[in-house]
């Protein structure tokens, strides 16, 4: 079975036991035992996916949370831009319309991002095909 290289634990833990000779209280501590953590926690891949806001953690539920967060953030930025640029307060626009338009812009942005990623994959495959004898 192939194991995905996820970089290992993002925040490794475990217990480190240190001792020093009882007859010499001024002696330096020595590491006598290191135990494995009871729970490994998140992987470096998951941590990077969260920080970079790229839904590629390898965990479906986490990827969905990242997508939702990214969509909400893009919609908020679109809403700020529309409200500031077009004078939302002065024109008395309906808040629901503004929110709906903001999410439409966010969805279009994410769709364009997905199309660009697909084009990059096709370009890379074409390069590999040209390099083959």
70-124 tens-digit pLDDT:
999 999 998 888 877 766 666 666 778 888 889 999 999 888 888 787 777 677 7
d(CA 69, CA 49) in angstroms, rounded, equals: 12
High-pLDDT (> 90) share of the chain, %: 13
Task: Name residue, tokens 């590999």.
Answer: 128
24: pLDDT strictly greater than 90: no
Is 39 inside any structural domain? no
Task: Name residue, tokens 């501590």.
Answer: 29
Is 34 inside any structural domain? no
37: pLDDT strictly greater than 70: no
2: pLDDT strictly greater than 70: no
DSSP-derived secondary structure letter, 33: E
> Band of the pLDDT at 49, cuts 50, 70, 90?
confident
Owning domain of residue 126: 59-131
Please choose, from the candidates 24, 23, 74, 32, the residue with its C-alpha nearest in 3D space to the C-alpha of residue 53.
74
Residues 6+ apart with CB under 8 A from 74: 105, 106, 109, 110
Residues 6+ apart with CB under 8 A from 31: 16, 17, 18
Q: Is residue 49 within 8 Å of residue 62, measured between CB atoms? A: yes
Is 9 inside any structural domain? no
How many structural domains compose the chain?
A: 1
Is 102 inside any structural domain? yes
Is 45 inside any structural domain? no
39: pLDDT strictly greater than 90: no
Is 72 inside any structural domain? yes
Please write down the long-range contacts of 22-30, taking CB distance under 8 Å and 24 or more positions apart.
Answer: none
Is 19 inside any structural domain? no
Is 84 inside any structural domain? yes
What pLDDT is attached to residue 76? 92
Six token digits for residue 67: 């997508």
């Amino acid at each position: 079975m192939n194991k995905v290289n996820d970089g290992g634990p993002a925040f490794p833990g475990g217990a480190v036991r240190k001792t020093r000779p009882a007859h010499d209280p001024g002696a330096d501590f020595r590491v006598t035992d290191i135990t494995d953590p009871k729970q490994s926690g998140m992987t470096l891949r998951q941590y990077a996916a969260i920080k970079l806001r790229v839904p590629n953690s390898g965990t479906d539920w986490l990827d969905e949370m990242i997508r939702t967060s990214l969509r909400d953030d893009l919609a908020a930025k679109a809403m700020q831009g529309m409200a500031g640029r077009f004078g939302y307060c002065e024109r008395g626009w309906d808040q629901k319309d503004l929110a709906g338009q903001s999410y439409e812009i966010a969805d279009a942005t994410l769709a364009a991002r997905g199309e660009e990623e697909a084009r990059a994959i096709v370009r890379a495959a074409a390069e590999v095909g040209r390099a083959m004898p």
